[in-house]
Structure 1
Amino acid sequence: MKKDIDFSPVKDVHVVIGKSDEGWRVFIINRNKSKLENVMVTSRGYGETKTEKQKTSILRHMIPYIEPGMYALIEPIDESVFHLNNEYWVSYFIDGQVYDKKFIFVPDSIVEENLIFIEELGMSGILHD
């Protein structure tokens, strides 16, 4: 049962929305000293305008592993969904222990003013921790 599973806090794993010449892309960075295994990422967008609720399709991504100090591309992201909550639910294992966290980029937080340089990616992006 879910109540019997020990969900340790997520540390040193970040989701980044980066901007390059090819456009906006979503990455996961492993700043742990251990390898992340069986990384599952579920992404979705949701929110509402003045007149209606909006949501995107739910996408699921599987990454077999991410070595310490490395990153992986999750997906490209289109600017047309920046006005929504963009949620990335990340689950992974380290030494058989499951870790799980939701990273939510709130509406209109993905803007040029919030960009910082992300050393691992060699590009500017918005880091969520």
Structure 2
Amino acid sequence: MRKDIEIPKVENSYIAAVKEWDKDFTEKQWNVYFINNREDTIDTVLVLSRGKSEDKKTSTLRHNLGNIAPNTAAKIEFITSEVLAFTNEYLVTFFAENKLYERKFIFEPNSISEKNSIKIPILESEGILAK
């Protein structure tokens, strides 16, 4: 029975943190995005986010991003500086090609920092990709 279950591998989909100007807070904030770098639209994108350290944890948040067009990104949330030292997890599920895809993305503690930034093509800015 188990050998008959196909678990598709998530490819060309990413979670990235980008530091952007926030006019409400009048400072730069880290925003987390889901990036669809696939050639097809993905449906019903659901993201669960949570953070944890050795002695603390954040609330679990659930985000419904809906459908995401090919080669675009959708903002999930902003991430406060207080939790950058935590392990931050993003569990993503979506439908594509009539299959359910699922993957966990992780930002290691203190990995979200400007010194670790790389060019994020779809967003056309500097940021950090989750593992």
How far did 1:117 drift? 2.0
Pair 1:9 & 2:15 matched: no
Q: Which residue of 2 aligns with 1:122?
A: 124
Please say if residues 16 and 125 of structure 1, whose CA atoms lie closer than 8 Å, have aligned partners that are also in contact: yes
Structure 1 residue runs of 4 or more that deviate by more than 6 Å after TM superposition: none
Corresponding residue pairs, total: 124
Q: CA deviation at 1:84?
A: 0.5
Query: What residue in structure 1 maps to residue 20 of structure 2?
Result: 20
> Are residue 32 (structure 1) and residue 5 (structure 2) matched?
no
- Any gaps of 5 or more consecutive residues in structure 2? 23-28
Structure having greater relative contact order (Cα 8 Å, sep ≥ 6): 1
After TM superposition, give the deviation of residue 4 of structure 1 in Å. 6.9
Give structure 1 stretches of 5+ with no counterpart: none
CA distance in 2, matches of 1:8, 1:34: 16
Counterpart of 1:81 in structure 2 is 83
Match of 1:92 in 2: 94
Cα drift, residue 74 of structure 1: 0.4
Whether the aligned pair in 2 keeps the contact of 1:6 and 1:98 (CA below 8 Å) is no
SS state at 2:82 partner: helix
User: For the residues of structure 1 that align with 2:64 and 2:4, how far apart are their CA atoms?
Assistant: 25
TM-score, with structure 1 as normaliser: 0.90
What does the per-residue CA deviation read over 1:76-108, in whole Å, with 9 as the maximum and x for residues that have no partner? 110110110000000000022010000010101
Q: Which amino acid aligns with 1:115?
A: S
Identity %: 40
- TM-score (norm: length of structure 2): 0.88
